[in-house]
C-alpha cells in the first residue's frame, strides 16, 4: 500500500508541475491573443492570480516535503 501511495504522490508532483507550466504559458499567450483578458488578469484579478500561484506552489511543497507522513497505514504488513 505504501508503494501505491508513493506512486500517486510522484504522479501528483509531475502533474502539478505540468499544470503550472501550462498556466504560465497560457498567460503568455493571452498577452498576444487576448490583450483585454490579459489586462484584466494583471490588474483587477491579480490578487486571485497570485493566490492561485501561492497555493499551487504550497501544495507542491507539501507533497514533496511530507512524503509518507499522512499516507494510509494498515495493521497488515505490506
What is the per-residue pLDDT for 2? 76
* Cβ atoms of 68 and 28 closer than 8 Å: no
pTM of the model: 0.74
Q: Classify each residue of 28-64 as buried b or exposed e, where b means 16 or more C-beta atoms within 10 Å of its C-beta.
A: eebeeeeeeebeebeeeeeeeeeeeeeeeeeebeeee
Q: Which residue has the cell 491573443?
A: 33
Domain ranges of the chain: 2-65
Q: Which residue has the cell 510522484?
A: 10
pLDDT in tens, 17-64: 999 999 999 988 999 999 999 999 999 999 999 999 999 999 999 988
C-alpha distance from residue 6 to each of 24, 27, 61 (Å): 27, 32, 15
Amino acid at each position: 500500500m505504501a508503494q501505491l501511495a508513493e506512486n500517486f504522490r510522484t504522479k501528483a508532483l509531475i502533474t502539478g508541475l505540468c499544470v503550472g507550466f501550462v498556466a504560465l504559458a497560457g498567460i503568455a499567450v493571452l498577452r498576444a491573443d487576448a490583450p483585454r483578458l490579459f489586462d484584466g488578469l494583471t490588474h483587477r484579478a491579480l490578487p486571485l492570480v497570485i493566490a492561485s500561484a501561492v497555493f499551487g506552489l504550497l501544495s507542491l511543497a507539501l507533497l514533496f516535503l511530507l512524503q509518507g507522513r499522512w499516507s494510509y497505514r494498515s495493521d497488515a504488513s505490506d
